[in-house]
């Protein structure tokens, strides 16, 4: 059912008069975009990792990044987000867990846009995968 503003100018009144049963809300974010995608790997003994995220951050929004150790342990000492080669503002990269971050991209994204995550490890005697996905709105 589609309501045009001209025929129903008051959305609150429209919702009050709408009676529905067994409705499902379907949110589409595009094929595969809600899935975690591998954006990097690391192997034991590394003290740094630089991730080029250009293929994954294709439009403004919030993205989740997580580091998944497969064997051994890691401890992330420092994470720096670079946009177009310059360090992003602190609220553009937010640590959300021991091995997880949210990246906020507010500027328009073009083919020339650069998004790089630079990681420094304290402990990296492990092997693992780095994954990224667009954050889903709650």
pLDDT tens figures, 21-50 = 443 433 334 444 568 999 999 887 778 999
117 within 8 A of 56, measured Cβ to Cβ: no
Return the domain boundaries, the chain: 32-134
**What does residue 110 show for φ and ψ, rounded to 5 degrees?**
-125, 180
Enter the tokens of residue 52.
Answer: 């080029």
**What distance, in Å, lies between the first and last C-alpha atoms of the chain?**
25
pLDDT in tens, 106-124: 999 999 999 999 999 887 6
pLDDT in tens, 42-96: 887 778 999 999 999 999 999 999 999 998 888 899 999 999 999 999 999 999 9
Fold of 32-134: Immunoglobulin-like (2.60.40)
| Gyration radius of the chain over CA positions | 20
HEC states along 46-92?
Answer: CCEEEEECCCCCCCCEEEEEEEEEEEECCEEEEEEEEECCEECCHHH
- pTM, 2 dp: 0.72
């Amino acid at each position: 059912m589609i309501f045009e503003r001209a025929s129903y100018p008051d959305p609150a009144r429209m919702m009050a008069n709408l009676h529905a049963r067994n409705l499902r809300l379907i949110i589409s974010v595009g094929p595969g975009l809600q899935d975690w995608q591998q954006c990097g790997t690391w192997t034991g003994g590394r003290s740094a990792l630089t991730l080029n995220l250009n293929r994954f951050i294709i439009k403004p929004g919030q993205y989740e990044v997580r580091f998944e150790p497969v064997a051994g342990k890691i401890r992330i000492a420092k994470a720096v987000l670079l946009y177009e080669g310059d360090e992003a503002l602190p609220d553009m990269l937010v640590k959300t867990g021991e091995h997880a971050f949210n990246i906020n991209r507010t500027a328009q994204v073009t083919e020339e846009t650069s998004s790089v995550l630079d990681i420094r490890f304290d402990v990296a005697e492990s092997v693992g995968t780095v994954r990224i996905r667009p954050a889903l709105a709650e």
